[in-house]
Amino acid sequence: MTNSPFDTGSIALWLLLSGLFFPRLALFIAWFGTGTYPSNSLSELLNFASWLLFPRFLMAYYISTAIGTNNFWFWAYLILGIVGFFGETGYVRRRVIRRTTVRGNGTTTTTVEEV
């Protein structure tokens, strides 16, 4: 393990920074384009499923195996993963329904209902 809490270890700094905001896209670019994908012991199927369902937790796993858990990056990914996992439920449930009524004389009325 390393002494510095901001050490990046064998993981590229651009991947750690961009992965905080766009983890799935950053991992895809690292896998497809640059060849800087973090080495790990997971199977390809488990890598893909984790990338698809829990990309921030996958990055936290990569950081814990490469750098350790006593690191800023590990805790940032873990906290953002938990916040993102539980914090977006209200946004997903809110729905807006718009109804437009056209009268015989050609005028329209639109009503907005938030569910």
Residue 108 resides in a domain = no
pTM listed for this prediction? 0.67
The pLDDT score that the predictor gives to residue 83 is 87
Residue 49 resides in a domain = yes
Q: Tell me the one-letter amino acid at 41.
A: S
Count of domains observed in the chain: 1
Tens-place pLDDT, residues 56-76? 998 989 888 888 888 888 999
Question: Which band of pLDDT confidence, cut at 50, 70 and 90, is reported for residue 2?
Answer: very low
Of 48, 75, 50, 54, nearest to 64 by C-alpha is 75
Residue 79 resides in a domain = yes
Tens-place pLDDT, residues 6-59? 777 778 888 888 888 998 898 888 888 766 677 778 888 888 888 888 889 989
Residue 114 resides in a domain = no
Q: Which residues span the domain enclosing 73?
A: 13-93
Residue 61 resides in a domain = yes
